[in-house]
Amino acid sequence: MPKKDAHTLVSQMTLDEKIHFVVGNGMKLPGGGDGGAAVGATEDKLPGAAGTTYAIPRLGIPSVVLADGPAGIRITPIRNGDSTKTYYATAFPVGTLLASTWDTALVRNLGVAFGNEVKEYGADILLAPALNIQRNPLGGRSFEYYSEDPLVSGNMAAAIVNGVQQNGVGTSIKHFVANEQETNRTLVNTIVSERALREIYLKGFQIAVQKSNPWTVMSSYNKVNGTYTSESKDLLTTILRNEWGFKGLVMTDWFGGKDVVAQMNAGNDLLMPGTPAQRDTIAAALKSGSLSQKTLDENCERILKIVMQCPAYNTYKFSDKPNLQAHAQVSRLAATEGMVVLKNEGSTLPLGKNIKRIAVYGNTSYEFISGGVGSGDVYEAHTVTLTEGLSAAGYTVDRTLQTAYQPYLLKERAKAPKPQYFFSLPAVLPEMQVSSEAIGHSADENDVAIITIGRNAGEFQDRALENDFTLSNGEKGLIDNVTKAFHRSGKKVVVLLNVGGVVETASWQATPDAILLTWQPGQEAGHAVADILSGKVNPSGKLAVSFPMQYSDVPAKDFPGKNLSDIPEKGVGGFSLGYNSEVKYEEGIYVGYRYYNTFKVQPAYPFGYGLSYTSFTYSGLKLSSSTFNKTITATIFIKNTGSVAGKEVVQLYISAPTDKIQKPAEELKGFAKTRLLKPGESQTLTFTITPADLASYHTDAVAWVADAGTYSVKIGASSADIKSTAVFNLPAAITVQKAHDVLKPQMTVNEMKQ
Ligand code: GLC
């Protein structure tokens, strides 16, 4: 039978079917009833998936399954207590680690494996990637996000969308837009200038839409300049569809927004997870005329066009047997490519051939964190612990320490408050105290010490400053005591940062010999760490987010915003609070390195920074012309001048003329990672610079304009390590795109100025 087109099918739907079709089937938590908690598991079709759409069997329209999350498909691993058949998923590295690979080809390949798992477990649309900006280190979901920079965020998102969708399943780029905090996320009004919105917060989504064609977009919980994003026609229709050409469907975040009719009229096609009250409201609005039949039909048609692409519509017989072994290798490879060596004094790493016995310190060494909590969590069968990884790599892990930590953690865990919800953070246990005698003994008995500092975070809560962004006294004391003892014995100390977001390092980074930022590396954690420590893999990761010297240096000063109600403030951290609030993005476009470089504030570790076990030279920077005409290409010659094979992440920054409007000192406009270069090998990298790359958003002109003047092309190993510079001139301004004068703040945003 010839496939009917969506328009025809919609015309055959009854009114009641249309009303049901734009509202999800609800949230059925086991024991939680219909419409229970904000995020959880629906028992329809695929247990543990986040939601499903309404089926219309008489028209051959199935229900499709929407499943979280950005680091792996989150579904219930054991059904009805029957563990003879399990549904564990692969826990891939978290978003911020993937961005630290700076390798879109690798991330795309990971997406292919990831999408296969989504398909073979019977889901249709993956509720990922998440690409909000890491504006402030205390943001609770930074682990799920990619970067402080929209070019990295957008390209990483596009890469994983292309990979996942290659399997014939969909994605949902989220949370659209300006949802950079958890505190009060469903009520907070993000107040932000049009320029910062366009250049920083929308830009990543624009890149993702135009480079990967995601099937769906998930609008965010918050308001932008006074209007809920899910209710904003300016955002969802004028910008997303009319300016950017998005063709897919827009869904709400779970129970996001308030005014259902405004959502329908805005172009927020699908209300998830869906409640009966929403259907009643739509029915009443149709009767009263506040919602037109035409709009309802348009929303139905956009949903149906996506449904018709889904495996469920094409009755795909999924296996429930994705190749988890193969995907584990994909996860391990990505993890090694995204870890970042921050310090490596005296070539402590890779561990020498003579290093066999390892003293492993730190609670988290024995409870290694694969990923964050909340909808971005994954239920993997097993996380390879650090000690397992080290042992598998042939190291001998100090038994005395292991047999001290393990019972300590068991006892403390037993005493700690139990997580209340699936998205609750596990209690942070006090660092086990180790006597100086025991530490001294371990320094005699072992060849090196490893200390892991762990941090976890997730949905519903932002991070705290003390003992979260900063290290606890117990952690600092451990680093000091172990380092003193091991240095006395002529041995070295490596600190591992098993964290999902930025932590303070300046006050202690001088103490240990090496620091490896493992991030939250997914299920193959221990193996990936051992691959790097042993030198089996030469680290090539670089930071996609700045590490500030201290929290007070962070330019995003207003976080998490001001309480507008009379509920007493509880400050940052802890469960997101349900009070009306507003947060002002007064740093404007000066987020992360855009601020540190422009205002000359030294970070502890700069954006784009990461060490290798080899060294590279940059030479021969050449521009195709010294005058810009249509495009300019920049070529650079990278050579491995060290003794081991390695890959180099090369960044292209632009410094633009500032006579028309203020601009950051540098902005990232291109990046590339070399292939694995053997010692002595070299590679020429070519970057193409377009007018869009040069354009800034001119609010008064309501347009993207590349201003006339002299531009500097800066090729860097990081945002603070420019290797080579060349200049070109743009003789006359180019208006790259006229925009629409929308999403204006209701008040002047008192933005940071140079
Ligand atoms: C959540 C999250 C979103 C997730 C959705 C479904 O509240 O904000 O990222 O995809 O609900 O679980």
**Which is higher by pLDDT, 2 or 24?**
24
Number of Cβ atoms within 10 Å of the Cβ of 346: 8
- For range 485-493, the mean pLDDT: 98
pLDDT of residue 567: 65
Q: How far apart are the first and last CA of the chain?
A: 65
3-state class of 732 per DSSP? coil
Contact 348, 513 (CB under 8 A): yes
Q: Which atom of ligand 1 is nearest to the CA of 130?
A: 9
Quick: pLDDT tens for 375-415: 999 999 999 999 999 999 999 999 999 999 999 999 999 99
- Say how many Å lie between the CA of residue 545 and the centre of ligand 1: 23
Q: Which atom of ligand 1 is nearest to the CA of 375?
A: 12
pLDDT of residue 570: 56
- Say how many Å lie between the CA of residue 345 and the centre of ligand 1: 42
- Say how many Å lie between the CA of residue 26 and the centre of ligand 1: 14
Nearest CA to ligand 1 atom 8: 253
Contact 672, 633 (CB under 8 A): no
Ligand 1 binding site (Cβ under 6 Å of any ligand atom): 38-39, 50, 68, 127, 174, 253-254, 375, 459
pLDDT of residue 253: 97
- Say how many Å lie between the CA of residue 272 and the centre of ligand 1: 10
pLDDT of residue 724: 98
Alpha carbon distance 188, 221 (integer Å): 8
Contact 97, 335 (CB under 8 A): yes
Residue 311 has pLDDT above 90, yes or no: yes
- Say how many Å lie between the CA of residue 179 and the centre of ligand 1: 12
Pocket test for ligand 1, best of 173, 254, 373 (most atoms within 8 A of CB): 254
What pTM did the predictor assign?
Answer: 0.97
DSSP element (H, E) containing 488: helix 473-488
- CB-based burial of residue 675 (10 Å sphere; 0-12 exposed, 13-18 middle, 19+ buried)? exposed
Work out the pLDDT band at 38, boundaries 50, 70, 90.
Answer: very low
DSSP state, 465?
I
- Catalytic residue (one of 68, 103, 149, 253): 253
Q: State the helix-helix crossing angle for 324-338 and 104-120, rounded to 10 degrees.
A: 150
pLDDT of residue 576: 60
Alpha carbon distance 321, 324 (integer Å): 8
- For range 559-575, the mean pLDDT: 71
Q: Which atom of ligand 1 is nearest to the CA of 221?
A: 8
- Say how many Å lie between the CA of residue 253 and the centre of ligand 1: 6
- For range 724-753, the mean pLDDT: 97
- For range 7-33, the mean pLDDT: 86
**Contact partners, residue 11, CB within 8 Å, separation at least 6:** 297
Pocket test for ligand 1, best of 39, 73, 126, 132 (most atoms within 8 A of CB): 39
Alpha carbon distance 222, 199 (integer Å): 19
From 477, 385, 468, select the one nearest 435 (Cα to Cα): 477
Work out the pLDDT band at 525, boundaries 50, 70, 90.
Answer: very high
Chain-centre distance for alpha carbon 275: 29
- For range 65-86, the mean pLDDT: 95
From 554, 367, 342, select the one nearest 463 (Cα to Cα): 554
pLDDT of residue 39: 47
E strand map for 339-398: 340-344, 357-361, 396-397
* Alpha-carbon distances of 553 from 192, 549, 550, rounded to whole Å: 20, 7, 6
Work out the pLDDT band at 35, boundaries 50, 70, 90.
Answer: very low
Q: Which atom of ligand 1 is nearest to the CA of 66?
A: 6
pLDDT of residue 31: 44
Q: Which atom of ligand 1 is nearest to the CA of 175?
A: 9
Range with the lowest mean pLDDT among 377-386, 421-430, 669-678? 421-430
Q: Which amino acid is at 212?
A: S
* Alpha-carbon distances of 652 from 569, 666, 695, 718, rounded to whole Å: 43, 9, 16, 9
Work out the pLDDT band at 40, boundaries 50, 70, 90.
Answer: very low
Work out the pLDDT band at 43, boundaries 50, 70, 90.
Answer: low
Quick: pLDDT tens for 283-293: 999 999 999 99
pLDDT of residue 47: 93
- For range 557-564, the mean pLDDT: 94
- Say how many Å lie between the CA of residue 57 and the centre of ligand 1: 28
Is 253 among the catalytic positions? yes
- For range 599-603, the mean pLDDT: 98
Q: Which amino acid is at 59?
A: L
For all residues of the chain together, what is the average pLDDT?
A: 95
Would you say the C-alpha torsion 93, 377, 144, 322 has a positive or negative sign? positive
Work out the pLDDT band at 425, boundaries 50, 70, 90.
Answer: confident
Work out the pLDDT band at 516, boundaries 50, 70, 90.
Answer: very high
Pocket test for ligand 1, best of 25, 46, 65, 68 (most atoms within 8 A of CB): 68
pLDDT of residue 2: 59
Quick: pLDDT tens for 253-285: 999 999 999 999 999 999 999 999 999 999 999
Nearest CA to ligand 1 atom 5: 254
Contact 96, 501 (CB under 8 A): yes
Quick: pLDDT tens for 231-254: 999 999 999 999 999 999 999 999
Q: Which atom of ligand 1 is nearest to the CA of 185?
A: 8
Alpha carbon distance 397, 50 (integer Å): 41
Pocket test for ligand 1, best of 127, 131, 179, 185 (most atoms within 8 A of CB): 127
pLDDT of residue 531: 98
Strand order in the sheet with 734-738: 696-698, 703-706, 734-738
Pocket test for ligand 1, best of 459, 460, 461, 575 (most atoms within 8 A of CB): 459
Number of Cβ atoms within 10 Å of the Cβ of 295: 18
- Say how many Å lie between the CA of residue 423 and the centre of ligand 1: 11
Nearest CA to ligand 1 atom 9: 375
Quick: pLDDT tens for 436-450: 999 999 999 999 999
Residue 510 has pLDDT above 90, yes or no: yes
- Say how many Å lie between the CA of residue 261 and the centre of ligand 1: 22
3-state class of 434 per DSSP? coil
Percent share of the chain, pLDDT over 70: 96
Nearest CA to ligand 1 atom 4: 375
Residue 572 has pLDDT above 60, yes or no: no
pLDDT of residue 33: 39
Q: Are strands 632-640 and 616-623 parallel, antiparallel or unpaired?
A: antiparallel
Q: How many CA atoms within 13 Å lie on the side-chain side of 684? A: 7
Q: Which atom of ligand 1 is nearest to the CA of 376?
A: 9
**Which is higher by pLDDT, 331 or 421?**
331
